[in-house]
Amino acid sequence: MYALFQTIDLALNLYTWVLIASAIFSWLYAFNVINSRNQFVDAIGRFLYNITEPVLRPIRRIMPDLGGIDISPIIVLLIIFFLRSLMWTTVYPMVA
For 39, the domain range is 2-95
| Sequence-separated contacts (24+) of 10-16 with Cβ below 8 Å | 12/80, 12/83, 12/84, 13/84, 15/80, 16/77, 16/80
- How many domains, in total, are found in the chain? 1
The whole-number pLDDT of residue 93 equals 94
pLDDT, tens digit, 9 for 90 and up, residues 23-82: 999 999 999 999 989 999 999 999 999 999 999 999 999 998 888 889 999 999 999 999
What per-residue confidence (pLDDT) applies to 65?
83
Burial label for 22, CB within 10 Å (0-12, 13-18, 19+), is buried
Dihedral class, residue 73 (left if φ above 0, else alpha if ψ from -120 to 50, else beta) = alpha
Distance, in Å, from the CA atom of 65 to the CA atom of 72, rounded to the nearest integer, reads 11
What is the structure's pLDDT at 6? 97
